Structure 1
């Protein structure tokens, strides 16, 4: 597909209970009624997307299975059994053979081979399929709560990192060395079909990662003007930036309209303080507000009305047809040195731990970790110093004279 044909992908996340599903559904309805072919899909195991849309939405058994909600709007719920099950069966059969060869009870082996991360893998593979199908102009993803969303979005790079290191070894073992290697290990080695599945997963994950960090994709954080929720939203912004994902808007949900009622006036004052904290915390990112409605918005018409009442508090609401500014890591030359720059809004130097591990840089921000495969130029360098300022982690590298002498 040409870049102009790629759909706009918006991932919607937030702390559980803040109304992210309603926000995602309202955005999808608005996009569809604006003339765009729109798919809204849920990656939340305990999803309520069907309830918000007013339809009975079951977990899809295949990539292609979506439900028509109204003209130009389809919905889909993705789970562990969506599409990836057949491919997982190949790997599962191999693992059962290995466990059987070392005497593990078949019943216990069945439990051991439950696929960790199956929901996330299925969601990413399904999203990748839709993004390259040519069927959609806009894809809105109603993500699980923040912790699960981070695991989902970290998966393409993490799984790719491990598979890149696994595949060369497995391919060597599947050559003439296979019989001897299997005898030496005392275990059955994976057949070509197992390696093919792993290779396919690696390729798809790389494609999804590229798509989600492109100018066609962004994340929107939904929150309410409460201190606990704001604190978690601040953390998710930093964590998303750590992994290279752009946040194009923050949606403050359930803002109580101002009036003279004493009870609501007290809430207005409390929410006004929260709104000030939000605009200060997310400075530079558009902040939108959605009102606290008298009743729960259910069905396309109510969702369209909610979208129409969503207003801008700070900055302009991002247009779906506008490219998303890149906010990923990059490397700058500074004299003879090189500086790796990674946006980390709201982070402080004390929150960040760094470790160099061979050709990788391990960055840990308050317990959230990313393993960054260093560009080739930095592999011949050593870390001189690092620090966080103005919302950026800056790691300075200098030549390793033993492997990259000056003049070469």
Structure 2
């Protein structure tokens, strides 16, 4: 089973590309689900099908189904358990009920719902391939970074909550003035933690990859370059690039037999953009999709577009992903932590050691890496960024790891 996520700057055609890929796969005999995590939900428009609001897959044709996520259906009951506890705490300290209700709304509800639905369909559904039409890049990065970040916070919350319930007696809780969470609350949070770890394993495993959709324009290319770096920071594999809406080249006569300067200008700009794309994303398959004479709406139109958007560069959409994540290597008595960060520059990076964690920042994005046991007994000697890789050298801390 494979999962392919499509993302890109708003308006570059990622929904059309995702839908066309799904149609192509289904007609090649691959049982396929195309799932939208974009709150705008334009997938049904591209397929010319009403996907409804039931949160259930809709069969488009044999072998192809589509689904748009319904957050309230997925999260309502489980979050209410936690929210009721938080409301009781806020009521104890005198927070107004209306304000408390706003404060306890679940942040990132749409993202969590989308992740849980993706995991459920990938692991329990009858699909060979799940194609995901993601939101624009900023929202997608937040979506994909959420499982690790939320699991990190839950890991720190759970021991404290369990300890409170185990050690505090009702009298002590009353003296503290704060109600203890019921076992159901802790069970809910524990369940979320487990599910987020399972989602993280799915997203960063050999079954999942991301494909970038863009147009050959400088602003779009610049954002796509940053997206590739940020996705790599979080451990996700990008395995292809689709360049959409490329005008046909060649002379075109305008009124009076003169050369069409408008299209000639776009041809020149787009060819320069294509050269920049191929240079920026060297090593990745880059597929060029033409600007069609009509908008590709409906399954038949998408089927005609499908061959042009196969960013895998081959006919096997189910081929496993070549994963290149963080590795730790021995370097004599020292260690090297290596993290792929394509297109990153040293000036874009921030690095901080905090106890047993290494915090890596790239631009506006941050990842907290829990260090392996061996590195926890080391100190950082130096770090460098070369050839798209961050290398951090650790040497043993002689206070806790004596030589000899």
Whether these two folds match at TM > 0.5 is yes
> What is the Cα deviation at residue 185 of structure 1?
3.1
The partner residue of 2:393 within 393, 396, 403 is 396
> What is the Cα deviation at residue 178 of structure 1?
4.1
How many pairs does the alignment contain?
396
The answer on whether the counterparts of 2:58 and 2:65 sit within 8 Å (CA) in structure 1 is: yes
Aligned to 1:33: 27
Aligned pair 1:335/2:332, yes or no? yes
> What is the Cα deviation at residue 97 of structure 1?
1.2
Aligned pair 1:111/2:108, yes or no? no
Give the distance between the partners of 1:224 and 1:116, measured in 2 at CA: 32
Aligned to 1:279: 278
SS at match of 1:160: helix
| CA deviation string 1:104-130 (max 9, x = no partner) | 222222211211000011011111111
> What is the Cα deviation at residue 353 of structure 1?
0.7
Give the distance between the partners of 1:310 and 1:154, measured in 2 at CA: 26
Structural mapping, 1:279-358, within 5 Å:
279-310=278-309, 316-317=313-314, 319-358=316-355
Aligned pair 1:164/2:155, yes or no? yes
Aligned to 2:257: none
Aligned to 1:129: 120
Aligned pair 1:379/2:373, yes or no? no
Aligned to 1:4: none
Aligned to 2:6: 12
User: What stretches of structure 2 of length at least 5 have no aligned partner?
Assistant: 253-259
SS at match of 2:72: coil
The partner residue of 1:231 within 213, 216, 222 is 222
Aligned to 1:146: 137
Structural mapping, 1:37-76, within 5 Å:
37-61=31-55, 65-76=56-67
Give the distance between the partners of 1:119 and 1:194, measured in 2 at CA: 21
Q: 1:307 to 1:388 in 2, by over 3 A?
A: same
TM-score by length of 2: 0.95
Q: 1:166 to 1:402 in 2, by over 3 A?
A: same
Give the distance between the partners of 1:345 and 1:82, measured in 2 at CA: 39
User: What stretches of structure 1 of length at least 5 have no aligned partner?
Assistant: 1-6
Give the distance between the partners of 2:331 and 2:109, measured in 1 at CA: 44
- Provide the aligned C-alpha RMSD in A: 1.4
Give the distance between the partners of 2:137 and 2:249, measured in 1 at CA: 30
Structural mapping, 1:249-288, within 5 Å:
249-261=240-252, 262=260, 263-288=262-287
Give the distance between the partners of 2:316 and 2:42, measured in 1 at CA: 26
Aligned to 1:203: 194
Aligned to 1:244: 235
Give the distance between the partners of 1:149 and 1:181, measured in 2 at CA: 44
TM-score by length of 1: 0.94
